[in-house]
């Protein structure tokens, strides 16, 4: 299969709520896209470095990191490392990245640092080979998330199927709107991914129904189930797709990858999502 798209689709995986499945989605959606022969880069933009660990890069193997790229202008190409998955590369992070906000405070281009680094990666033709670039964001609407949204074509929002799932979503969508106005006019919402769906729990089903009613087809058809294999895989330093290829979580991320691939550059207009904030 070949990509139908002219250059990489750059997607920020963002939600300022902690523990909603951003990193699990970055790792396993990345692995699932790689499995269908897409060339994928995961950029770890979270100082926690969970995406780096979960893709087989322990801290002592990280070399150049996204911190060096953002604060020292190190070319992104120098930070790329092969992950444990074929076709999947990582730009790792370390805890140093938590200092980037403060270090960049006087830089007038501080929100564009990642975008500039990605432009020169593509210009250098280095791995002009990527079809998808997924950016794992920290649980905050801080400068790192702004960098991701400024560099991205679209945002995927993981939403945990629990009470208060929609809480904070309007703040997130307002940030997207702000980025559209000031930094990246073309930014779109690619889709909303329901995560940690628990079949045995009525609440999960109710929340999923509510979210679909509110957000319509912005929500991907695929629902990611709560699945213990997804949570075990990072401690084995690999995506669930390698750890247990047949588990329900791996299958769900394959289905999500198919939807993301098919949606390509043509997500729902962000305005639709933004209307929801006024609802």
Q: Which residue, 47 or 191, is less far from Mg ion as judged by CB?
A: 47
The answer to whether 94 and 65 have CB atoms below 8 angstroms apart is yes
CB of 24 to ligand ATP, least distance (A): 3
- Residue 100, binding choice from Mg ion, ligand ATP, none, Cβ under 5 to 8 Å by partner class: none
Residues that bind ligand ATP (CB under 6 A): 18-24, 46, 48, 50, 139, 195-196, 224, 226-227, 230-231, 234, 249
Q: Which residue, 181 or 231, is less far from ligand ATP as judged by CB?
A: 231
Q: Which residue, 236 or 272, is less far from Mg ion as judged by CB?
A: 236
- Residue 196, binding choice from ligand ATP, Mg ion, none, Cβ under 5 to 8 Å by partner class: ligand ATP
The answer to whether 79 and 92 have CB atoms below 8 angstroms apart is yes
The residues pairing with 191 across neighbouring beta strands, listed in sequence order, are: 156
Q: Which residue, 160 or 268, is less far from ligand ATP as judged by CB?
A: 160
CB of 207 to ligand ATP, least distance (A): 14
Q: Which residue, 20 or 79, is less far from ligand ATP as judged by CB?
A: 20
CB of 100 to Mg ion, least distance (A): 16
Closest-approach residue to Mg ion (CB): 23
Residues that bind Mg ion (CB under 5 A): 22-23, 50
Residue with tokens 């905050």: 140
Residue with tokens 């509510």: 210
Residue with tokens 């990345």: 30
Give the N- to C-terminal CA distance of the chain in Å, as an integer: 41
DSSP state of 8: P
37 backbone φψ class: left, alpha, beta (φ>0; ψ -120 to 50): left
- Chain CA centroid to CA 141, Å: 14
């Amino acid at each position: 299969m070949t990509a139908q798209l002219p250059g990489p689709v750059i997607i920020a995986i963002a939600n300022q709520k902690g523990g909603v499945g951003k990193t699990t989605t970055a790792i396993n959606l990345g692995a699932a896209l790689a499995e269908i022969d897409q060339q994928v880069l995961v950029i770890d933009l979270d100082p926690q470095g969970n995406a780096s660990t979960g893709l087989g890069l322990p801290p002592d193997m990280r070399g150049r990191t996204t911190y060096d790229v953002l604060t020292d202008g190190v070319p992104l190409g120098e930070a790329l490392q092969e992950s444990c998955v074929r076709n999947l590369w990582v730009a790792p992070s370390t805890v140093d990245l938590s200092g980037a906000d403060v270090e960049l405070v006087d830089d007038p281009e501080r929100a564009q640092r990642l975008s500039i680094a990605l432009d020169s990666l593509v210009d250098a033709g280095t791995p002009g080979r990527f079809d998808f670039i997924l950016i794992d964001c920290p649980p905050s609407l801080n400068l790192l998330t702004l960098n991701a949204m400024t560099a991205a074509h679209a945002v995927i929002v993981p939403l945990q199927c629990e009470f208060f799932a929609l809480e904070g979503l309007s703040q997130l969508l307002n940030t997207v709107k702000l980025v559209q106005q000031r930094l990246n006019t073309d930014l779109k919402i690619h889709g909303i991914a329901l995560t940690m769906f628990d079949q045995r729990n009525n609440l999960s089903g109710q929340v999923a129904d509510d979210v679909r009613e509110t957000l319509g087809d912005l929500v991907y058809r695929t629902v990611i189930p709560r699945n213990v294999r997804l949570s075990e895989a990072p401690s084995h330093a690999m995506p669930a797709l390698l750890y247990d290829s047949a588990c329900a979580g791996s299958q769900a991320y394959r289905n999500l990858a198919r939807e993301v691939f098919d949606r390509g550059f043509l997500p729902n207009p962000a305005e639709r999502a933004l209307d929801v904030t006024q609802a």
